[in-house]
A and B are shown apart, each in its own frame.
Chain A
Amino acid sequence: MDPKLKREILLDHYQNPTNRGLVEDDSYIKINTNNESCIDNLDIMYKIENGKIIDIRFDGEACAISTSATSIMIQSFIGKTKEEALKILENYENMLNEKEYDPEVLGDLNLYQDIYKQPNRKKCAFLPFESFKKVIEKIEEK
């Protein structure tokens, strides 16, 4: 993709992210995701019913990569089943780690395909997905 267009899409997600702002609602599971290697600090809350992702909201302070990745993750996850979301996560993680992956399932997350060139930013790009892993752990504990 044209780098200029790519940048514009990411910048738009950073400046006007999807579903910014938390809600008071106990039916959501809330995760604080504090990236261990840096300073991004986001609260992300998930509403999952009967194995389906109904809503995701977030708030907090984070860099452009983390914030835009959160916005795009939210867009790609809402309406998906847990399993479908995990499949996206797995392929996305493989892409970041330069392993084999299926670009078909990633949609706009393909915009991060060059992040591996900046190893210190990989954690930022994966930050929101860490929170989804924790949500799944929480659901399975129940």
Chain B
Amino acid sequence: MNREDFPILKNELIYFDNGATTLKPQQVIDAVTDYYTNYTANAHRGDYDNSLKVDMMYEETRTKVKNFIHANSEKEIIFTSGATDSLNRIVFGYMKYNLQPGDEVLITKAEHASNVLPWLELEKEKGIVVKYIPLENHLVTLENVKRSITEHTKVISLAQVTNVLGDVRPIFEIGEFCRENNILLVVDGAQSVPHMEVDVIKLNIDFLAFSAHKMLGPTGVGVLYGKEELLEKMHPTSFGGGMNSTFTSDKIVEYKSLPTRLEAGTPNIAGVIGLGAAIDYLTNIGMDRIQEHEKHLKQYFLEKAKDMNQLVIYNKDLDNGLIAFNIDGVFSQDTAVYLNHYHICVRAGNHCAKILKEDLLVKNTCRISFYLYNTEEEIDQLIEVLKNSKDIFQIVL
């Protein structure tokens, strides 16, 4: 749907790598360009017209984000450089000061590096203990979450949707369980917020991280959501302009209130304004429609591919918009290079979830991840190319 809004699609291009980043509609490009062309100014600074307009656009986006994820207040929305930055701030701005040595954090082996490495660093630095919830057929179940809990469990940190198989975790059930047991729930929303309705209150999410560029927005901007009472206890990980209210030569320092206290330095203003346009765009279509469209495309692909024995598909049974596959006997990267010859973009690799292979027993896969602008015709072309894949080495060698 809406393909005409995406200028890049005028080229010969079939883009199936939306889990990595998404294409940008003209509306987002225009919003960014408009800021640079017509009203460049810093935020929260001047008293002239352009600066006031920047303030307004920047803070309006905060409200849009708040509404988009159904948060209670603008104070709960912090702009960051992306989901990775958001997760690092949660770990090093909040957990570092509020967890004690011996406290346990539960993650899984299917997490993205950004939801593993900060925790492992904090384990080394602070003596918290990182444990893995066992996966059941690669999936997280509430039962296994319950089984992994000890009296020391303080945090569960999970992707809502994984980026390798695209499975949707039962965050609602886990959220209820966390609330009943006084456990903090951190959610990596990088692969979920762009594709489905996410309601932080209903899901009892304490912290949520996501990136603008995976939801039609610009690169270099992301969101950290935290419940207000938690963000009040979060330490800034950057100090400087914009976030202080006063400091004197005798070293009396006072910081501003939320959310400004956690946004030191000139923010990515163009990026934030672009994110605002992306949210408007997605909201106009409706997240439910987008999710349905992606699921439909996967079913369409599976139907077309059902007699193709050379394809090994790892996540057939998951009702989502992501296909993890290999051509039997072909290294995933060779498949990706072959598809690229036909202007079809897919991702090959371990998708930054390097420890999942211990569980999946497959080191590398090709990943097709759909978004709203993908079509059945594109899948027809993909199927055609895959059918001819016995010629793959004519192309890649």
A, B in one complex: yes
Between B332, B348, B364, B397, the greatest number of chain A beta carbons within 10 A of the residue's beta carbon is seen for B397
Q: Provide the residues of chain A in CB contact with B333, threshold 8 Å.
A: 38-40, 63, 124
Q: How far apart sit A62 and B397, CA to CA, in the bound complex (Å)?
A: 14
Q: Provide the residues of chain B in CB contact with A39, threshold 8 Å.
A: 332-333, 348-350, 363-364
Contact B363 A10 (CB under 8 A): no
Q: How far apart sit A68 and B363, CA to CA, in the bound complex (Å)?
A: 20
Size class of the contact patch on chain B:
10 to 19
Q: How far apart sit A11 and B334, CA to CA, in the bound complex (Å)?
A: 12
Q: Provide the residues of chain A in CB contact with B397, threshold 8 Å.
A: 6-7, 10-11, 14, 64-65, 68
Q: List 11 A-B contacts (CB under 8 A).
A: A6-B397, A7-B397, A10-B393, A14-B397, A38-B333, A39-B332, A39-B333, A39-B348, A63-B331, A63-B333, A64-B334
Does A52 have its Cβ within 8 Å of any Cβ on chain B? no
Contact with B along A13-54 (1 / 0, CB 8 A): 010000000000000000000000011110000000000000
Does B337 have its Cβ within 8 Å of any Cβ on chain A? yes
Q: Which of B337, B349, B363, B393 contacts A121 (CB 8 A)?
A: B337
Q: Provide the residues of chain A in CB contact with B309, threshold 8 Å.
A: none
Q: How far apart sit A67 and B393, CA to CA, in the bound complex (Å)?
A: 13
**Given A39-B332, A39-B333, is A65 in contact with B350 using a C-beta cutoff of 8 Å?**
no
**Nearest-neighbor residue (CB-CB) of B396 within chain A:** A64
**Given A39-B333, A40-B333, is A65 in contact with B396 using a C-beta cutoff of 8 Å?**
yes
Does B38 have its Cβ within 8 Å of any Cβ on chain A? no
Q: Provide the residues of chain A in CB contact with B348, threshold 8 Å.
A: 38-39
Contact B394 A63 (CB under 8 A): no
**Given A39-B349, A39-B364, A121-B337, is A7 in contact with B332 using a C-beta cutoff of 8 Å?**
no
**Nearest-neighbor residue (CB-CB) of B393 within chain A:** A11
Q: How far apart sit A61 and B177, CA to CA, in the bound complex (Å)?
A: 41
Q: How far apart sit A67 and B364, CA to CA, in the bound complex (Å)?
A: 16
Contact A64 B394 (CB under 8 A): no
Q: Provide the residues of chain B in CB contact with A7, threshold 8 Å.
A: 393-394, 397
**Given A39-B348, A39-B349, A39-B364, is A61 in contact with B331 using a C-beta cutoff of 8 Å?**
yes
Contact A64 B331 (CB under 8 A): yes
CB distance from A37 to the nearest CB of B (A): 11
Q: Which of A6, A41, A63 contacts B337 (CB 8 A)?
A: A63
CB distance from B20 to the nearest CB of A (A): 14
CB distance from A121 to the nearest CB of B (A): 7
Contact with A along B317-339 (1 / 0, CB 8 A): 00000000000000111100100
Q: Provide the residues of chain A in CB contact with B363, threshold 8 Å.
A: 39, 41, 61
Between A40, A41, A61, A67, the greatest number of chain B beta carbons within 10 A of the residue's beta carbon is seen for A61
**Nearest-neighbor residue (CB-CB) of B349 within chain A:** A39
Between A14, A40, A41, A63, the greatest number of chain B beta carbons within 10 A of the residue's beta carbon is seen for A63
CB distance from B192 to the nearest CB of A (A): 25
CB distance from A114 to the nearest CB of B (A): 10
**Nearest-neighbor residue (CB-CB) of B364 within chain A:** A39
Q: How far apart sit A102 and B169, CA to CA, in the bound complex (Å)?
A: 57
Contact B364 A64 (CB under 8 A): no
What 4 A-B pairs come out closest when comparing CB atoms? A39-B349, A63-B333, A10-B397, A63-B331
Q: Provide the residues of chain B in CB contact with A64, threshold 8 Å.
A: 331, 334, 393, 396-397
Q: Provide the residues of chain A in CB contact with B331, threshold 8 Å.
A: 61-64, 67
Q: How far apart sit A141 and B397, CA to CA, in the bound complex (Å)?
A: 37
Q: How far apart sit A109 and B86, CA to CA, in the bound complex (Å)?
A: 47
CB distance from A1 to the nearest CB of B (A): 13
Q: How far apart sit A68 and B333, CA to CA, in the bound complex (Å)?
A: 14
Q: Provide the residues of chain A in CB contact with B332, threshold 8 Å.
A: 39
Given known contacts A7-B393, A14-B393, A62-B331, what 20 new A-B pairs fall within 8 Å (CB)? A7-B397, A10-B397, A11-B397, A38-B333, A38-B349, A39-B332, A39-B348, A39-B350, A39-B363, A39-B364, A63-B333, A63-B334, A63-B396, A64-B331, A64-B397, A65-B396, A65-B397, A68-B397, A121-B337, A124-B333
CB distance from B112 to the nearest CB of A (A): 16
CB distance from B365 to the nearest CB of A (A): 10
**Nearest-neighbor residue (CB-CB) of A63 within chain B:** B333
CB distance from B346 to the nearest CB of A (A): 13
Q: How far apart sit A64 and B336, CA to CA, in the bound complex (Å)?
A: 12
CB distance from B331 to the nearest CB of A (A): 5
**Nearest-neighbor residue (CB-CB) of A64 within chain B:** B334
